[in-house]
Amino acid sequence: MNLTRILPLALSLALLAGCSGRDKPALSAEARTQLYETAIEDARDAETNDALPVLSDKADEQLPLYLDLMGLTPDDVDAFALSASLMNVRAYGIAAVYPAQGREAAVREGLEDFIDRQKQSFAQYLADQYDIASNARLETLEDGTVLLVMCQEQDAVFDAIRDAILAAG
């Protein structure tokens, strides 16, 4: 038997078998939206969940207000979950967005503008809220999700949401 022929074939088969388990099926927009909503709610306490709902339904009549606040349009998103303070008394916003095809730059720009507006709102007004806005985290995750977290303890909230999304996705 010629080992120089069999060894490369065996190695190739072993590599293919090892790689096949890593590929997860792509999440549907509905499943991704539910994942985002659950991840956000699980990362927050009950009081915050009661006070600041998570919007994830394109049919919600308040959605245009939230999208506009965060610098987004319905055409920018395939899947999303948003939560924000509509009253200008605290710097708060969480957005998990799976951008529509070719819209990642628009999503990031809209969310960056939201952060800038929040910082401007609180620069001369409430120093603690200005610090929260200044420390907001905006990142694109490995799966393509654009994640914004602007709240107290943003690092812990961000990590919890990110970990939940990446574990599922």
Alpha helices in the chain (DSSP H): 3-20, 29-43, 46-51, 63-69, 104-122, 127-134, 154-168
> Six-digit token pair at 53?
């709902």
Residue 145: the pLDDT is 97
Domain ranges of the chain: 26-168
Residue 3: the pLDDT is 39
pLDDT at 117 over 70: yes
Of 1-15, 36-50, 70-84, 101-115, which range is least confident? Answer: 1-15
With 0-12 / 13-18 / 19 or more C-beta atoms within 10 angstroms meaning exposed / middle / buried, residue 40 is buried
CA distance 81 to 52: 12
CA angle 109, 80, 37 (to 5 degrees): 130
Percent of the chain with pLDDT over 90: 80
Residue 125: the pLDDT is 82
Residue 24: the pLDDT is 54
What is the pTM for the complete model shown?
0.84
- Per the prediction, the chain carries an average pLDDT of 88
Cα separation values, 99 from 29, 30, 109, 121, 168, Å: 11, 14, 12, 27, 18
CA distance 162 to 139: 10
Mean pLDDT in residue range 129-151 = 97
CA angle 25, 137, 108 (to 5 degrees): 65
CA distance 70 to 114: 5
